[in-house]
Amino acid sequence: MAAKTRAAPVDAVGCCSPVSAEMLGQRDAELLAAAFAALADPIRLRLLSCIASAEGDEVCACDLLEPSGRSQPTVSHHMKILVDAGLVEREKRGLWVWYRVAPARLAALRAALA
């Protein structure tokens, strides 16, 4: 700690108040960052909003293609990212795949922004 250079000759207002010991841990920061990264894409946000506002609280994957304006592989890729981030739940029923938002995960992210 004391290794701080502090060579500044300026006595104006003074800098470098002791930095708080409370900082997000490395591991926690990585987990949080991964979650926010999943939200850091306009397409994924629109997909998420599409699911969140669906009646019955779930949406079939096929219904996500047209509104997103992206190819099927691209949408599948984005959905995988959302699912891996824990923001969306995936359930295969017969030939189709249905998605639901995971409210607990969203709440956790909200809490992290407090």
Between 83 and 106, whose beta carbon lies closer to a second copy? 106
Answer for which of 41, 67, 86, 106 binds DNA (CB under 7 A) is 41
Among 1, 2, 3, 9, interactor with DNA by CB under 7 A:
9
**77 in Cβ contact with 40 (< 8 Å):** no
* Three-state secondary structure call for residue 32: helix
Is the CB of residue 86 less than 8 Å from the CB of residue 102? Answer: yes
CB 43 within 8 A of CB 70: yes
- Which residues 6+ apart lie within 8 Å of 90 measured at CB? 79, 83, 97, 98, 99
Q: How far apart are CA 37 and CA 81, in angstroms?
A: 9
Residue 84 as a binder of a second copy (CB under 8 A): the answer is no
Residues lying near a second copy in the complex (CB under 8 A) are found at 4, 8, 10, 12-13, 15-20, 22-24, 26, 29-30, 32-34, 36-37, 39-46, 49-50, 53-56, 59-60, 62-64, 66-67, 93-96, 106-107, 109-110, 113-114
Q: Which residues bind DNA (CB under 7 A)?
A: 5, 7-12, 15, 37, 40-41, 43, 60-62, 70-81, 90, 92, 94-97
